[in-house]
Amino acid sequence: MKAIKSEEEWKEILSSEEFHVLREKGTEPAFTGKYLKNKKKGTYVCAGCGSKLFSSDTKFDSGTGWPSFWAPVSKDNIEEKPDNRFGMRRTEVLCKKCGGHLGHVFNDGPKPTGQRFCLNSISLSFKENEDSVEKSKK
């Protein structure tokens, strides 16, 4: 089910930085995102609507300055659209549920997919696996 909100409703629930990236297709500066170096096990969800997007099992260090993944949890949870802004030919990645801008996908990633989903940390929230949380409490 789609999460449909007016721009005013999004402005009320998102920070100005989140709104800029998720709703206005902005980009956070490279090497500044809170999830770039996150090594915990869990699931990355949309910061706008909570839809499950990427697993820590597919995260890798691309050296680009943004969290990168070689596959989404499900292709049904994301949408890919051509993005020719700024004189570049790229493929934009959006949350299928709320339409939030997540980042871009490139065909220079590792096996098995060869894809690099290069995402803005600010577009994501992280849900740590419960078994990882339990282990850290011991």
Residues annotated as catalytic are 118
CA dist., res. 5 & res. 122, Å (int): 19
Structure tokens at 29: 């500066």
Of residues 80, 65, 75, the one with CA closest to residue 121: 65
